[in-house]
Chain A
Amino acid sequence: MSLLSVENVSVSYGKVEAVRGVSLSVEAGRVATVIGPNGAGKTTLLTAVMGLLPYKGRILYDGMDLSKLDVEARVERGLCLVPEKRELFSEMSVSDNLILGAYSRRDRNNVARDLDAVYDRFPRLRERRSQLAGTLSGGERQMLALGRALMTKPRLLMLDEPSLGLAPLIVREIFHVIGSLRDLGVSLLLVEQNARAALETADFGYVLETGELASAGPSKDLIHDPRLIATYLGEH
């Protein structure tokens, strides 16, 4: 069964329809990616799934209709979004940011252990744990955003442009982490402009153009699709 299934969802800002009739699904334990140009509606879609924007259509998570749950209730049920702007608590320390990630968890006893695990995964964060989040570099901020998301103990993690504005080396590191999350049993929905990196990480891909699904398929097929190569992937 799909962990997340988005069925015929449309999202509007005022009278402008940014997402039109999109359907997609994320299988449990898999990585799905949505790629497409700037302004195609990718961020809007994630925002709606998270409950930050109203939508038309149906979104099922673990078989449950999400329409009646607010953002916080979705978080409690293991849905987590790392937005494009990261939305860190910039005037708070790195460790406070991470601790707040576990805010809605009921298994308080495991929080300390998970915090350690996050520090092990991102040793840089341990070094800087008493530093204010606002003073971190771009790459560190993204690590913190990922670490904070992991502290929520997500079942479905949605990442919006995790490589945005990062140096190639950091991008490689971030994608390495993303790849390893699958082993933790976390399902992923990844939105990326860096289409090649995203498709290489994901199992399944969707292409969004001007708010509509343009194509979809297993990543290994999409990555060889001549039209996509011409538009997004470039000659390789």
Chain B
Amino acid sequence: MTLEIAAILGIDGVANGAIYILVAIGLVLIFTVTRVIFVPFGDIAAFTALTLAALENRQVPGTISLVIALAVIAALIEVVSLVRRGDLHAVPRALLFYLGLPLLVVALVRFGIGFELPMAARIALAILLVLPIAPLLDRIIFRPIADASVLLLLIVSVSLHFALSGLGLLFFGPEGVRTQPLTEAAFDVAGILISGQTILIVVTSVIFSIGLYLFFDYTLTGKALHATAVNRTGARLMGIRPARSGAIAYILGSLMAGTSGVLIAPVNTIFYDSGFLLGLKAFVGAIIGGLVGYPSTALGALFVGLLESFASFQSSALKEVIVFSLLIPILIWRSLASTHSEEDIEE
């Protein structure tokens, strides 16, 4: 391997890693706040890419039916539970959040399809349309079992991924898509060509990481989210609702997953089920970071990106095997490093 190839692989790896950073940070955010290891997270990214592709072709994206269906089910569940509790005052508000807002987004997208929109508007619409999916799934799937063990939530989460990828095929079809390039620019740095796309990916990832840091440090909502992650009971005793924190985490996370979907769609062909591997690799990165801290998660994700890039040079067929096998030594190292408390795992 020459230095030049190493440099190209390195740049490629950093670009991959930057994508994984976006997804991994979203995963960690959701996990720490809700204790759900949200395996379908990659699907959200893939759905964004597919939605964007549909918008480019001025087709109705399958996401619309998905969002409508989820919104109706979630609203129904919420209203029924409110009525059962005798809390009728909260019904209009619940309808607004679970039905009104998602349908508003759907209407906006439906309306937008009628026009020749600029790229920025299409991207905004695509991301806007996937934002409600994860919070609605949270309400339908995870909220009823919010007290269950992390393990049970994980089983549910894995099942949910398979359900979503099936739905993905139903709503988007089996064809892969590639969206229009975000930028045609390219730069020659010391004889190595770096595409504007790569730079865009890295810059976006950095901006999001910094933004998230500021959010946690300087806003009350960010602090409340952090507090929920650190100590749920403590948070509740201060009047912070874990369910609300969870919804915010899901929306924020979806924003990052959606953005990553938009960023990879011009360079990789995205299929309805491409999200699984994206999510799992980001996840490997998150675990390397210990599923807790954001800087360590970013480093872990970057490492996975680089590893994948170099592994695919060695053997493109086995790169997935290499990435996933890596998880085992890392988990062992993690488990040796972490101290767990006995009470956590009581029945």
Which positions in A face B, CB cutoff 8 Å?
A: 50, 52, 68, 70-72, 75-76, 80-81, 83, 87-92, 96, 99-101, 103-104, 148, 152
Contacts and interface: CB of A to CB of B under 8 A. Distances in A.
B239 A89 contact: no
8 contacts: A68-B87, A75-B236, A75-B239, A83-B233, A87-B237, A92-B226, A99-B223, A103-B238
B226 A89 contact: yes
B231 interface: yes
A103 B231 contact: no
A68 B86 contact: yes
A52 B105 CA distance: 37
Given A92-B226, A152-B239, A52 B233 contact: yes
Contacts of B85: 68
Contacts of A92: 223, 226-227, 230
Contact of B239 (A83, A87, A88, A103): A103
Count chain B CB atoms within 10 A of each CB in A50, A52, A72 and give the residue with the most. A72
A72 B238 CA distance: 7
B239 A76 contact: yes
B54 to A, nearest CB: 40
Interface string B76-88: 0000000001110
B224 A103 contact: yes
B319 interface: no
Contact of A72 (B86, B226, B234, B239): B239
Contacts of A104: 238-240
A89 B230 contact: yes
A106 to B, nearest CB: 11
B116 to A, nearest CB: 45
Interface string B234-256: 11111111000000000000000
A91 B229 CA distance: 10
The 6 closest A-B pairs by CB, nearest first: A104-B239, A87-B234, A75-B239, A89-B230, A71-B236, A72-B239
Interface string B284-307: 000000000000000000000000
Given A68-B86, A92-B230, A100 B237 contact: no
B1 interface: no
B261 to A, nearest CB: 31
A96 B217 CA distance: 9
B245 to A, nearest CB: 11
Contact of A71 (B87, B220, B237): B237
Nearest to A91: B230
Nearest to A76: B239
A148 B238 contact: yes
Contacts of B236: 52, 71-72, 75
Nearest to A81: B237
A90 B231 contact: yes
Contact of B231 (A50, A68, A76, A87): A87
Interface in B73-114: 85-87
A67 B292 CA distance: 36
Contact of A89 (B86, B87, B234, B241): B234
A99 B231 contact: no
B220 A99 contact: yes
Given A68-B85, A75-B237, A89 B224 contact: no
Nearest to B86: A68
A90 B230 contact: yes
A72 B243 CA distance: 11
Nearest to B292: A91
A142 B238 CA distance: 16
Given A68-B85, A103-B224, 18 more contacts: A50-B237, A52-B233, A71-B239, A76-B239, A83-B237, A87-B234, A88-B231, A89-B226, A89-B227, A89-B230, A89-B234, A91-B230, A92-B227, A92-B230, A96-B227, A100-B223, A100-B238, A103-B220
A184 B231 CA distance: 29
A87 B235 CA distance: 8
A152 B227 CA distance: 15
B227 A100 contact: yes
B240 A100 contact: yes
A81 B233 CA distance: 11
B343 to A, nearest CB: 10
A72 to B, nearest CB: 5
A100 B236 CA distance: 11
A104 B223 CA distance: 13
A152 B238 contact: yes
A96 to B, nearest CB: 6
Count chain A CB atoms within 10 A of each CB in B226, B227, B238 and give the residue with the most. B238
A88 B238 contact: no
Count chain A CB atoms within 10 A of each CB in B87, B220, B233, B239 and give the residue with the most. B239
Contacts of A71: 236-237, 239
